[in-house]
Amino acid sequence: MIITKKALSRRALLRGFGTAVALPVLDSMTPALAAPGANPTVSPARMAFLYVPNGIIMKDWTPKADGTGFEFTKTLKPVEAFREKMIIMSGLDHYNGQALGDGAGDHARAGATWLTGAHPKKTEGADIYAGVSADQIAAREIGKQTTFPSLELGLEDNRMVGGCDSGYSCAYSNTISWSSPTTPLPPEINPRAVFERLFGDGETTDPAARALQARQDRSILDFVREDAARLGADLGAGDKRKLTEYLDSVREIERRIQKIEERNTDSAKLPAIDRPAGIPPTFEEHIDLMFDLMTVAFQADLTRVITLMIGREGGNRTYRSIGVPDAHHGLSHHFNDPSKIDRLQRIDQHHVEMLARFLAKLQSAKDGDGTMLDHSMVVYGSSLSDGNRHDHLDLPTLFAGGAVNRIKGGRHVRYKKGTPMTNLFMSMLDLSGVRPEKLGDSTGKIEYLTDLA
């Protein structure tokens, strides 16, 4: 709702980071990008997962032809400029998103399954259970090298009260990131808060101020740790779990402080950005500002893993800017009404237009010897294909980026029936040097990602 005039100019500046004008600033950061111990000549691959809710009008999404000769469909048209940088993937499934005897609640299951591949436990209570998500598996490993293992972002606050989806906890539809099967990571939707998290809460990104802040935070953390230790003895089992969660967070923040201090000695210069005022009034401005922050976070190597929920699963955003006043989820049950399908398609296409903006920002951001897009793996998709019927199979999936020049784009790949979505994530993790045994229902790595002539 609130955005300041001042912030508008700041945002213009922020946008400028992707352009040639601002490049000198970024170049001065480049030495800092190579984390200690990493091979300085190889840029790390960044991962971004962008989720759109309520399914997609598939007939306007899926290209007719497979392979390299495909034509961009109406919905995908806005990203055609990046043709050679992307793979459209058809046929990937989330078997575990289906009811499997649990009845209604496909939206909750869709959200919970997308990055976990796990069949979430049906409960409205506190005993939620899904699986660890792909981004968090990546964050555990490659996140060690950055100040923030990962960022979880969103664009839709869940201020609705009451139940979410048919007997499922709201946690399932509000988030796609799970650090453990019982720990959903709620997305941050306020760009100002994201900025402050990344760059501290000062008006600027002055390293000396941040170092002072870090020292003080450290002494406070020492205090609370001692305090918590005294407490430990006379706690019940449930309370001990809570305390463990608390102490784990203390440790993680201490690790971050250490990272900040290391970087400060490295005299790393952070981009000179002013903090955003808050949540912009329109969806388009909001997502744009998030994209700016995501790009800068990648550029400054503050994190290498980001998830962005463009909407909450089952969310009811309206899109008046493109003449769709209907609530998205309500509309997604279109019952083959052509005018509803048309409006949904417009929403889908609008989302892809937004994606194009993000890809453009990554493309124009320089990173080492290439562009940020070349050094990224961006997955854009939904965990429902046909939202009307709640179909969890043949999911709309777009993979973009070069994963440090290891991917050959310009293709539409149709995977064979029954290929788990999680196989794609297994491959991406593998490319990042992270090799978990399994992710949800994965059966191995996906084909035709890098293994192409």
Partner 1 sequence: MFLPLLVATLVSISAMSLHAASSDVFAYVEKSCAGCHNGSVKSGDIDLKSLHSAKTFDEDREIWEKVVEKLKLGQMPPPGIPKPEWKATKAVTEWLEGEFARQDRTAKPDPGRVTARRLNRAEYNNTIRDLLGIDIRPADNFPADTPAFGFDNISDALGLSPALLENYIDAAERSVRAALFGPEKRKPAAVHYSAPVRINDSRGTRSLPKDLSRYDETGLSTLHSAHFVHRFPVDAEYNFRLVLNGHRPNQSEPARPALYIDGKFIKEWEVDATDLEGQIVEVRARVTAGEHLLSATYHKNYHGLPPQYGGPDPSKRPPEALINPRGKLSEKDIETLRKYGTRIKTDGIETRIDNRYEAIDIGGPFEQTMGAPAESLKRIFVCGHTTGKHVDACARKVVSHFASRAYRRPATAKEVDQALGFLLLARKQGDSFEEGIATALQSILVSPQFLYRIEREPSAVAGRNAVPVNAYELASRLSYFLWSSTPDEELLRLAGEGKLRQPAVLEAQVKRMLRDGRSSALVENFAGQWLQFKNIDVVRPDPQKFPMFDDALRLAMRRETELFLEHIVREDRSVLDLLDANYTFVNERLARFYGIDGVTGPEFRKVDVSGTNRGGGVLAHASVLTVSSYSTRTSPVIRGKWIMENLLNAPPPAPPPGVPPLDEAKAGGGTLRQQMEEHRKNPACASCHSRLDPLGFSLENYDAIGKFRAQEGGAEIDASGSMPNGSIVRGPGDLKKILLERQDDFVECLAEKMLTYSIGRGLQHFDLPAVRQIRRETAENGYRFSALTLAIVNSVPFQMRRTPDK
Subset of residues 27 to 46 that bind partner 1, contact rule: CB under 8 A: none
Shortest gap between Cβ of 141 and partner 1 (angstroms)? 17
Nearer to partner 1, 78 or 187 (CB): 187
Q: Using alpha carbons, list the distances in angstroms from residue 164 to 106, 333, 413.
A: 11, 17, 35
CB 368 within 8 A of CB 376: no
Binding of partner 1 by 67 (CB under 8 A)? no
Query: Which parts of 300-359 interact with partner 1 (CB under 8 A)?
Result: 316, 318, 325-327, 330, 333, 335, 337
Please tell me whether residue 185 binds partner 1 under the rule CB under 8 A. yes
Alpha helices by DSSP H, 143-236: 170-174, 191-199, 207-232
Among 53, 117, 143, 184, binds partner 1 (CB under 8 A): 184
> Running DSSP on this structure, what letter comes out for residue 84?
G
Q: Residue holding tokens 């591949």?
A: 117
Pick from 330, 296, 400: nearest CA to 50: 400
Closest CA to 204 of 195, 191, 216: 195
Cβ at position 403, least distance to partner 1 in Å: 27
Q: How many residues bind partner 1 (CB under 8 A)?
A: 85
* Residues in region 376-435 near partner 1 by CB under 8 A: none
Q: Which is nearer to partner 1, 281 or 370 (CB)?
A: 281
Under rule CB under 8 A, residue 183 binds partner 1: yes
Shortest distance in whole angstroms from residue 338 CB to partner 1 = 10
Distance of CA 49 to the CA centre of its chain: 4
* CB nearer to partner 1: pick between 205 and 423: 205
Q: Which of residues 433-452 bind partner 1 (CB under 8 A)?
A: none
Minimum separation from the CB atom of position 361 to partner 1 (A): 24
Closest approach, Cβ 7 to partner 1, in A, equals 7
Instruction: Indicate the helix (H) or strand (E) that contains 76.
Output: none
Binding of residue 193 to partner 1 (CB under 8 A): yes
Q: What is the 8-class DSSP label of residue 165?
A: B
Q: Which amino acid is at 122?
A: K
Q: Please give the residues from 248 up to 277 whose contact with partner 1 meets the rule CB under 8 A.
A: 248-250, 252-253, 256, 277
- Long-range (24+ apart) CB contacts under 8 A made by 59-65 are 60/345, 60/348, 60/349, 61/348, 61/396, 62/88, 62/90, 62/396, 63/88, 63/412, 65/412
Which secondary structure element, helix H or strand E, spans residue 307, and what is its range?
strand 305-309
Residues from 208 through 237 that contact partner 1 (CB under 8 A):
216-217, 219-221, 223-224, 226-228, 230-231, 234-236
Among 245, 262, 266, 342, binds partner 1 (CB under 8 A): 245
Contact stretch for partner 1 (CB under 8 A) within 60-68, 113-121, 247-255, 392-400: 247-255
Pick out residues in 108-167 that bind partner 1 (CB under 8 A).
124-128, 152, 157-163, 166-167
- Report residue 23 CA to chain centroid gap: 25
**Residue 13 interacts with partner 1 (CB under 8 A): yes or no:** no
Stretch that binds partner 1, among 18-26, 113-121, 195-203, 303-311 (CB under 8 A): 195-203
Of 31 and 223, nearer to partner 1 (C-beta) is 223
Beta-carbon neighbour count of residue 353 at 10 Å? 15
Decide: is 205 part of the binding site for partner 1 (CB under 8 A). no
CA-nearest of 217, 307, 292 to 256 is 217
Q: What angle do CA 177, 152, 450 make, to 5 degrees?
A: 70
- Between 85 and 104, how does the x/- string for binding to partner 1 read (CB under 8 A)? --------------x-xxxx
Q: What is the C-alpha separation between 353 and 347, in angstroms, rounded?
A: 10
Tokens 């506190």 belong to 126
Residue number with CB closer to partner 1 (74 or 218): 218
CA-to-CA distance for 109 and 101, rounded, in angstroms? 13
Nearest residue (CB) to partner 1, 384 versus 413: 384
Task: Answer for the pair 409, 87: CB distance below 8 angstroms, yes or no.
Answer: yes
Residue among 24 and 125 whose Cβ is closer to partner 1:
125
Is position 188 an interface residue for partner 1 (rule: CB under 8 A)? yes
Pick the closer one to partner 1 by CB: 106 or 367: 106
**Contacting residues for 41 by C-beta, under 8 A, at least 6 apart:** 368
Any contact of residue 192 with partner 1 (CB under 8 A)?
yes
The tokens for 62 are 């899926």
- Give the position of tokens 């003449």: 323
What is the rounded distance in angstroms from the CA atom of residue 316 to the CA atom of residue 74?
23
Of the candidate residues 24, 36, 238, 323, the single one contacting partner 1 (CB under 8 A): 238
